[in-house]
Amino acid sequence: MARLDANIFDLDRHREGLKRLGQHAQKGILLYGPPGTGKTHVIRHVSANLPGRTTVLVTAEQTVAIGFYIVLARTLQPSIVVLKDVDLVGRSRENVYSPKAERLLNRLLKRDRWS
């Protein structure tokens, strides 16, 4: 919980000050672990404690339309985009099953493509 406070909630409290200093205020977190470790509960906690934010939940099946969800999140900002079970898109980068899946996985991993 202390890490969430420091890396999400404290950052949010100081967002405007960071922008005035020329710092980028868009941040991401990666939650990983086997099923049942509480990742979904953490996302619910973060969403509930950042009032005024729209949470856009994108499942693995919906990542083929990730561009749509990014536009939606920008339209509804401030927003939080949650990519749920994104590991299903490409279980390992060495074994990506198609060029389309590889491009999608690379887009998801490179934040600057969405700026």
All structural domains of the chain with their residue ranges: 2-114
19/100 Cα distance (integer angstroms)? 36
Residues near 60 by Cβ (< 8 Å), separated by ≥ 6? 84, 85, 86, 87, 88, 89
Structure tokens at 64: 């083929």
Bridge partners (DSSP) listed for residue 83: 58
- CATH 3.40.50.300 fits domain 2-114: yes
Per-residue model confidence (pLDDT) at position 93: 47
16/35 Cα distance (integer angstroms)? 36
- What separation in angstroms does the CA of 16 have from each of 20, 38, 43, 73, 85? 6, 30, 23, 19, 31
Residues near 83 by Cβ (< 8 Å), separated by ≥ 6? 58, 63, 108
Q: Which has the higher per-residue pLDDT, 92 or 45?
A: 45
- pLDDT range class, residue 89, cuts 50, 70, 90: low
pLDDT surpasses 90 at 75: yes
Q: Which has the higher per-residue pLDDT, 25 or 49?
A: 49
Per-residue model confidence (pLDDT) at position 76: 93
Per-residue model confidence (pLDDT) at position 115: 47
Among 108, 84, 105, 86, smallest CA distance to 95 is for 105
Using a cut of 0.85, tell me whether the model's pTM lies above it. Answer: no
